[in-house]
Amino acid sequence: MPVQMPPKNKKEFSWGRFSKTLSFWILILLIPVVLIQLTGAKSEASKQISYTQYRDALQRDNIAKVTIVAGKTINGNFKQRETIAGSADVKNFSVRLPVENSEHEVDALNDKGVMIDAKDANASVMAWVLNFLPWLLFIGFYLFLFKQMQAGGNKAFSFGKSKAKLLSGDTPKITFADVAGADEAKQELQEIIEFLRDPQKFTKLGGRLPKGALLVGPPGTGKTLLAKAVAGEAARPFFSMSGSDFVEMFVGVGASRVRDLFEQGKAHAPCIIFIDEIDAVGRHRGAGLGGGHDEREQTLNQLLVEMDGFESNDGVILIAATNRPDVLDPALLRPGRFDRQIVVDAPDLRGREGILKVHLRNKPIADDVNITTLARGTPGMAGADLANLVNEAALWAVRMNHDKIYMSDLEDAKDKVMLGAERKSMVMKDEERKLTAYHEAGHAICAMRVKGNDPLHKVTIVPRGRALGLAFTLPEDDRVSVTRQQLEAVLVMSYGGRAAEELIFGYDRVTTGAASDIQKATSIARRYVTQWGLSDAIGPILVGDNEQELFLGREIQHRREVSEQTAQLVDAEVKRVIDRSYERAKETLTQHIELLHQVAAALLDRETLSREDIEMLSRGDSLPPRTSGAPPTAAAPVPSPVLEPRRTNPPLLGGPEPSPA
């Protein structure tokens, strides 16, 4: 059976073929004009003669007829051929008149009985082009605009077109197998995908297709990655764009793009539309200086109407992502528009293990790599932080000429990401180095001897970032809440460095190196009193901070919720908490003054000590000899230094910062 070819689309229009045809006809029209200009209307070439030769021939009555061209040139014929400037048998001549439109020349020709004719000058090609150039430009510009309007996109006359990109089949796919640490979010989005694939499965019990899902979470937790996974799993048209793509300088463009976006969605329904950083267009209305006519607010109004307005958009699901849900308009968050708000928070221990496995699965890793230990050492890290950590480890392994990524490479990369790069080239005086050693030793001893602190992991006097040294702890597990005992222990540890300086070097030689510790401890103490209700004098009430400035799309003001008397009581209570912590730090270090000297001396010798090293010193044992810088092996796993969780209080305690000049 012969194969029937599909009929050709008669509406197809080839601009390449059209331009070739247009160029051909323009060339056909120009050729005759050029030929006329080159050949003129003469059958025989004319000899250019001087005006004197012309007057001499006229006096001898040897001129038969002439043609005066534009009153400036005379083209004529001799009665008898003449020899002029060595040229014999000259029949036709041409002469330039010294005076244009001279009546004397006409009278002289009439006296000799010469036949006279006159005509205007022939138009040149350039003159012809200049005459028709405006029309050519107008026609060309019209054809260009017509072509741009047919092409669409973000070109001329298409400002109101949506900039959403429709993911094609050849786009590299990311699936849910590439996403870890967000099991609840994956489950919610998986349900939406199944709804698109088999809507009867859900509608048979009266369910309806959700209009929208809002991904909310801190930066780097994987909101955009989840959207890419939805695009890879959905097997349905997927439009992707940013919230900033709607708003332009032209009024009404954003609303027009919203309309065009949903028109494209309805044409491809069922489909998914993803808007990243929706807070760029979805901020609370009434906050702009332009009032209700603000371009951004018009765009938001159109988005609200398209999501749940008079005209339904069945089969179009909107997924959006933001890390600023507090600034979004309430009308955008109500059910019927964004039916689901999916929280994508920082991963827990199991989630971090899964994320590390995803990023390490295609990399050559050594046998000593312990992903669980690495995950325990990175509390509070988001997915983007862990991806950066693995990438830094790979770069560090290449720098160290390793054939694989060892655990030590991951540890070094983690220290660099969390603490900053080592500044080994920084030259410190012996006195400053000694002061830093006692400062960090004070932190370390308070961390170990005050109940409530996380186990100390490492203390070092190697400068990192802006700190001259660091003492940090290893949380035993992911912490959601913090007790009063833990907070007070962290405050004591915060002032351990400053207390050690005062005990060893004296009151007058205390330095500014504890500025960072004091700042962080004061912040914890103020929240201890005003927000967490842990102060006996204030009680369990929320006391507003009169220095906090609000700008959530509703107002710009300074909050003032307490009286002057209460504010003074808060300041006095904060000072009492800090003074008590500082005194406890001095008492702890005084009780363990010998250990303080031993730890400081060991730091000056080794620069970095672990908790086990300090415990050996407290028992009176000698430290083992330092290991050489041999490459890591599978039989020598490296412990995991970590920071305090970033999402909890207390924060990381650093060493003294460089003193101001």
Closest CA to 597 of 513, 500, 495: 500
Q: If you count DSSP H runs as helices and E runs as strands, how many of each does the chain have, helices first?
A: 21, 16
Q: Is the peptide bond before 270 cis (omega within 30 degrees of 0)?
A: yes
CA 518 to chain centre: 35
Q: DSSP labels for 592-660?
A: THHHHHHHHHHHHHHSEEEHHHHHHHHTTPPPPPPPP-PPP-TTS------PPPTTSSS-PPB-PPPPP
Total length of the chain: 661
Dmax of the chain from CA atoms? 141
Closest CA to 79 of 60, 94, 96, 106: 60
**Quick one: tokens of 93?**
């001549």
Cβ-in-10-Å burial (0-12, 13-18, 19+) of 348 comes to middle
Report the candidate in 599, 608, 222, 606 with the shortest Cα–Cα distance to residue 415: 608
Do residues 371 and 401 make contact, with C-beta atoms less than 8 angstroms apart? no
User: Pick from 549, 552, 553: which is nearest to 294 by CA?
Assistant: 553
Beta-carbon count within 10 A of 307 CB:
20
Question: Left (φ > 0), alpha (ψ -120 to 50) or beta: where does 152 sit?
Answer: left
Q: What is the DSSP letter of 13?
A: -
> Residue 380 region, left (φ>0) first, then alpha (ψ -120 to 50), else beta?
left
Q: Distance between CA 273 and CA 619 in Å, rounded?
A: 65
DSSP run (H or E) holding 497: helix 496-505
Question: What residue type is assigned to position 88 of the chain?
Answer: A
For residue 261, the 8-state DSSP code is H
Closest listed residue to residue 488, CA positions, set 528, 449, 539, 520: 528
**Active-site entry in 105, 188, 295, 440:** 440
54 three-class SS = helix
Task: Identify whether the C-beta of residue 388 lies closer than 8 Å to the C-beta of residue 225.
Answer: no
Beta strand pairing status for 456-460 and 470-473? Answer: antiparallel
Q: Find residue 75's DSSP bridge partners.
A: 67, 94
What are the residues whose beta carbons fall under 8 Å from the beta carbon of 213, sequence distance 6 or more? 188, 189, 192, 317, 318, 319, 320, 338, 339, 340, 341, 342
Question: What are residue 275's DSSP bridge partners?
Answer: 241, 320
**3-state DSSP: the chain helix, strand, coil percent, rounded to 5?**
45, 15, 40
Both tokens of residue 376?
A: 């325990």
Amino acid type, 571:
D
Identify whether 440 is a catalytic site residue: yes
- Give me the active site residues, please: 440
